[in-house]
Amino acid sequence: MVHQPRMISRSPHLNVMCNAAFKAARSLVRDFGEVEHLQVSRKGPGDFVSTADKRAEDTIYKELKKARPSYGFIMEEGGEISSEDDHTWIVDPLDGTTNFLHALPHFAISIGLQKGSEIIAGVIYDPIKDELFYAEKGGGAFLNERRLRVSSRQNLQEALLATGIPFARHPKAERLAFQETLEKVMPLVAGVRRFGAASLDLAYVAAGRYEGYWEPSLASWDMAAGLVIVREAGGYLCDLQGDEDILGTGSVLATNQALFEPLKELLVR
């Protein structure tokens, strides 16, 4: 059962985004309960999970469209729906699909709001842990009712990092480049984690659970909500070329102020 975490008073935009996430989460949690039973079937859960993903996205689309009919959309499943309004919803209805497919309880709904070229609000909801991460430009970042701040650790030796590991669909050169990067990073830090949901990796940086996160190949819906949440929690961000075109390059480094330069030296190519 999805419980809706109480929030401190927030803007109409955030209320709309949270309500859409909560509504979609109800069906995702119900479907997640069925996935384990499908693991033993010959057909497997793949088609079932694809349907669950699309159903959640359709719910979010209808809720956001009803509340703001003039806004555009960028969605993982439904693609781009442009509009004359300069506001765009960026939606990932199920970030962590592979986890969901394997009945691993680590996935989230991610909704970002872009105005022009800037992400101005973000909501990431993990329905299994009942954790709602949200932020709006200038308003701070929150987990349920608690204000978020990035980690205060200042030494790489104490830093726990997260990343994404290139898998079968990634080119061999990309996999080899990642291995080289990992070999540089691992001896210098306390640990590296790969949990398989980019939105939650960013949210965890904002919450101080990780000192940093990097990943080279992401879509806008993987990152949009998380970027504003990290910024509003006091975090520092760049792409893996050292610039600020994160959505354009599809790569990200997120960390705190103290570790920003040391991690850039290690990770920026």
Q: What is the DSSP string of 144-186?
A: TTEEP-------GGG-EEEE----TTS-HHHHHHHHHHHHHHG
Classify each residue of 230-266 as buried b or exposed e, where b means 16 or more C-beta atoms within 10 Å of its C-beta.
Answer: bbbbbbbbbbbeeeeebbebbbbbbbbebbbebbbeb
Strands 212-215 and 191-193 turn out to be unpaired
Which CATH code, of 3.30.540.10, 1.20.1730.10, 3.90.1170.50, 3.40.190.100, is assigned to 12-147? 3.30.540.10
Strands 160-163 and 118-126 turn out to be unpaired
Q: Which fold has domain 156-267?
A: D-Maltodextrin-Binding Protein; domain 2 (3.40.190)
Residue-wise pLDDT for 50-95, tens only, equals 888 999 999 999 999 999 999 999 998 889 999 989 999 999 999 9
User: CA 212, CA 200: separation in Å to the nearest integer?
Assistant: 12
Strand partners, 132: 125
Q: Could you state, in order of their start, the residue ranges of all structural domains in the chain?
A: 12-147, 156-267
Cβ contact 5:19 at 8 Å:
no
User: CA 75, CA 72: separation in Å to the nearest integer?
Assistant: 10
Residue-wise pLDDT for 228-261, tens only, equals 999 999 999 999 999 999 999 999 999 999 999 9
